[in-house]
Amino acid sequence: MRLRDAVRMRDVVRRRSPRVESVFAGRVCSELADDLPDEDLGEYLYDCIDMYRMGSKPRCEEVEYLGMVQEAIDRLEQGC
pLDDT in tens, 12-65: 444 555 555 678 888 888 899 898 888 888 778 888 888 889 999 999 999 999
Q: Are 33 and 41 in contact (CB under 8 A)?
A: yes
Q: Report the distance separating Cα 36 and Cα 70, nearest Å.
A: 13
Q: 5 pLDDT band (50/70/90 cuts)?
A: very low
29 CB neighbour count, 10 Å cutoff? 17
Instruction: Give me the pLDDT at residue 17, please.
Output: 55
Greater confidence (23 vs 70) lies with 70
DSSP conformation letters of 2-29? -HHHHHHHHHHHH---HHHHHHHHHHHH
Instruction: Give me the pLDDT at residue 69, please.
Output: 92
| Cα–Cα distances in angstroms (integers) from residue 37 to residues 28, 32, 52, 66, in the given order | 14, 8, 17, 14
Greater confidence (1 vs 51) lies with 51
Residue 67 gets which letter from DSSP? H
Q: 78 pLDDT band (50/70/90 cuts)?
A: confident
